[in-house]
Amino acid sequence: MSIASNRIKEFESMLQADLIKLEHLQTLCFNGIPDERGLRPLCWKLLLSYLPLDVASRVGTLKTKRTLYKQFIDEIIVSPGGENDHPLNVSPDSSWSTYFKDNEVLLQIDKDVRRLCPDISFFQTATEFPCDQVVNSSGVKRLHKRVEHSALFYSDVERKGLGPFKISRERGGYSSNGSYESMSEGNEAHWEVVERILFIYAKLNPGQGYVQGMNEIVGPIYHTFATDPDIAYREYAEADCFFCFTNLMSEIRDFFIKSLDESEGGVNHLIQKFDQAIRLHDSNVWARLVELDLKPQYYSFRWLTLLLSQEFPLPDVERIWDSLFSDCNRFQFLIHVCCAMVVLVKEHIMDGDFASNVKLLQNYPPIDVTKILQTAVNLSNSI
């Protein structure tokens, strides 16, 4: 029996237990989850605390959560209006006032989801399980219809709290040609589903709302669930993704709130820990970066806040996330991965000037992700 077959068998044996041991699950998943047999979507649901480790509770949990999400769609995606209410009503209690305010957020979401992973066709294709409540509503509940009158320019947008994000990749990754089209009545593309997930999340979390970059967090989760070979799970990819995304955001939400940048859970604190890790593991490359005045904020901001989702092709991102979600000290291992990325291009950094090194680190070169992860493990073990 091959090594791959043995690993699959080990995963299946672990997942068939009446009560899954979290430490065992984390240990197996940390070293990578096999792509076969729907193991990754199931493990991610467990690692993100969506599914209970107790198998007996699983069916009830899924039924409750999926019913709740259907209720969110019914109650949150509504049309304005009503007795004595009209579009010119300036009252803050007016449903029209809320509708127009929501559309400002929706416009940003719409721009962002239309450029999700354009290097693959997945998000542009039709889902096999369109939401009946939405696609058969004569356009009333189609979110993109609410903002299609606005000019949708597919270019970099700076969002307060997260700074500029890279939208194009040199190696053919991202193009900004606005080619994502909406589907006809009765159908919807995967990007439309992601748009709905983000809009509902923003409405349910008004203190945070939507911040540019969240689309890059939800994208890999949704892709993993929507390609599950188990049709019984694949049918509910949207609802399951929503709750897993919500759970993940509860852990990293401080990265997306500018007022918390300097807090212990804020992004600046994380960047400082990353900078200290480089100094600890390779003082020479750290000194070179200091000499060039190449601050970690110039490149690691996006690495850390978006969990490296924009630095690598989607399959590599999913492999990295196997380890990140399995890290019981989240997100300590993320710092080691980012540190490994710097160490692995040390020779280029030592020889390069400021401009060439900024370009190098903001457009990280293709490197075997397995090598990056192993280097990260070695760095973490050397402490």
**Phi and psi at residue 19, to the nearest 5°:** -135, 110
23 or 79, which is more confident:
23
Q: Is 173 in contact with 216 (CB distance < 8 Å)?
A: no
Confidence of residue 149 (pLDDT cuts 50, 70, 90): low
Q: Cα–Cα distance between 322 and 262 in angstroms, integer?
A: 28
Taken as a whole, the chain contains a residue count of 383
Residue 2 confidence (pLDDT):
76
What's this model's pTM, rounded to 2 decimal places? 0.89
- Chain segment 215-269, per-residue pLDDT in tens: 999 999 999 999 999 999 999 999 999 999 999 999 998 888 776 666 666 788 8
The average confidence (pLDDT) of the chain is: 87
Among all chains, which residue has been given the structure tokens 């992973």? 117
SS3 readout for 10-66: HHHHHHCCCECCHHHHHHHHHCCCCCHHHHHHHHHHHHCCCCCCEHHHHHHHHHHHH
Q: Which of 86-90, 158-162, 187-191, 364-368 has the lowest mean pLDDT?
A: 158-162
pLDDT-above-70 percentage for the chain:
85
In the predicted model, is pLDDT for residue 290 greater than 50? yes
Of the candidate ranges 43-47, 156-160, 177-181, 366-370, the one whose mean pLDDT is the lowest: 156-160
| Choice among 24-28, 95-99, 174-178, 180-184 with the minimum mean pLDDT | 174-178
pLDDT tens profile 154-207: 333 333 344 434 433 333 333 334 467 878 888 999 999 999 999 999 999 998
* Joined tokens for residue 191: 């990007």
Q: How far apart are CA 316 and CA 324, in angstroms?
A: 12
